[in-house]
Structure 1
Amino acid sequence: MKEALRDTFEKVLEKATGEDLTVLSQMLNGLAKKQSGHENTYFKDLFLMEADFREGECEVAIPVTPLIYNTFSIVHGGVTATLLDTVMGVMANRLLPPGQQAVTSNLTIHYLAPGTGKFLKAKANVIHRGTKTMVMEGIAFRDDGTKIAHCTGSFFILKLK
């Protein structure tokens, strides 16, 4: 397996453009962070997500890189949805007591402007907090402050097993 990967890696490097190298670097750096025990999943580090928590507030930012482009060289809508789902889910889970977790049950997203610039930032807040569900609101912005998406999300509250 390692030998086959080495062969593939060498072939990829031979033909790599600057953009290819940027994407490959982002992916390898994310993998290295995961291997170092920094995170227990690949997801956060693959997208270079940075989270900031304050009392009652959560914010997640990601750099805009070719890895997250769609065919028009703007941020893929699914990545924007992922960013919003992440910020709302992180916020929901931070509010729960030990022994509980929140998982997404529904997302409704309204795209307002293209995802461009150097980074995207999303913020979340609570609309409703019950004993079995939570409803969150998320807003995503470009680095110039333009709102690019508005989202609401419902989350089931589950007991950890």
Structure 2
Amino acid sequence: MKEDLSRLLNECMEHATEEDLHSLRQLLTGMRKKQEDGGPLLGGVFAMEWENEEDTLTLTIPITPLTHNSLGIVHGGITATMVDTIMGTLANRALPSGYGAVTTNLNVHYLAPGTGGELTAKGQIIHHGTKTMVVEGKVLRSDGKVIAHSTGSFFIFKK
């Protein structure tokens, strides 16, 4: 397995553009981060940075070739992943020990293209029931423009 991966890596690097090398570095850095801190691979690969203030949780990622679609802007799936991640994290943080929440519905309204240096996701809990939660999220560009607005429903379960 390691020999196959080593050969593939060498072949990719042999024909790589600068953009390819940047993406490869980001992927490998994400893998290393996962190995070091045990967090999810997704967070490492997209270089997710978290900021937790008193009542606010934010998630920021750099816009890189790895986040682009074929039009050279952030892929909608990356934007959806950001709002699902911020909203799910908020939902789970609001629960007592021994409980978890999973997404049951996600609505994303794309409002503007994802361009610039980075994207930031923010969210807030709209409804916290005993079996479900509704959370609202938004993603902003570096210039402050909201590029997506989202709502999500989360099912609460005992672990």
TM-score of the alignment, normalized to the shorter chain, above 0.5: yes
Kindly indicate whether the alpha-carbon contact (under 8 Å) linking 1:118 and 1:143 is maintained by their aligned counterparts in 2. Answer: yes
Query: Residue in 2 aligned with 1:92?
Result: 91
Q: Which aligned segments of 4 or more residues in structure 1 are displaced greater than 4 angstroms? A: none
Kindly indicate whether the alpha-carbon contact (under 8 Å) linking 1:126 and 1:137 is maintained by their aligned counterparts in 2. Answer: yes
Provide, for residues 44-99 of structure 1, a one-character-per-residue CA deviation record: whole Å limited to 9, x for no partner: 11111111122332111110000111000000001000000000011111111110
TM-score, reference length from structure 1: 0.96
Query: Residue in 1 aligned with 2:18?
Result: 18
Query: Residue in 2 aligned with 1:111?
Result: 110
1:39 offset after TM fit, Å?
A: 2.9
More displaced stretch, 38-47 vs 67-76: 38-47
Query: Residue in 2 aligned with 1:73?
Result: 72
Once the two structures are superposed, the pairs formed by residues 1-150 of structure 1 within 5 Å of their partners are 1-36=1-36, 38-150=37-149
TM-score, reference length from structure 2: 0.97
Kindly indicate whether the alpha-carbon contact (under 8 Å) linking 1:57 and 1:91 is maintained by their aligned counterparts in 2. Answer: no
RMSD: 0.8
Kindly indicate whether the alpha-carbon contact (under 8 Å) linking 1:56 and 1:125 is maintained by their aligned counterparts in 2. Answer: no
More displaced stretch, 125-134 vs 54-63: 54-63
Aligned-partner Cα distance in 2 for 1:39–1:48: 14
More displaced stretch, 53-62 vs 127-136: 53-62
SS at match of 1:110: strand
Kindly indicate whether the alpha-carbon contact (under 8 Å) linking 1:125 and 1:137 is maintained by their aligned counterparts in 2. Answer: yes
Aligned-partner Cα distance in 2 for 1:99–1:153: 22
Aligned-partner Cα distance in 2 for 1:97–1:53: 19
Give the % identical residues: 53
For residue 75 of structure 2, what is the amino acid of its counterpart?
Answer: H
SS at match of 1:97: coil
Structure 2 residues not aligned, in runs of 5+ = none
SS at match of 2:59: strand
For residue 23 of structure 1, what is the amino acid of its counterpart?
Answer: S
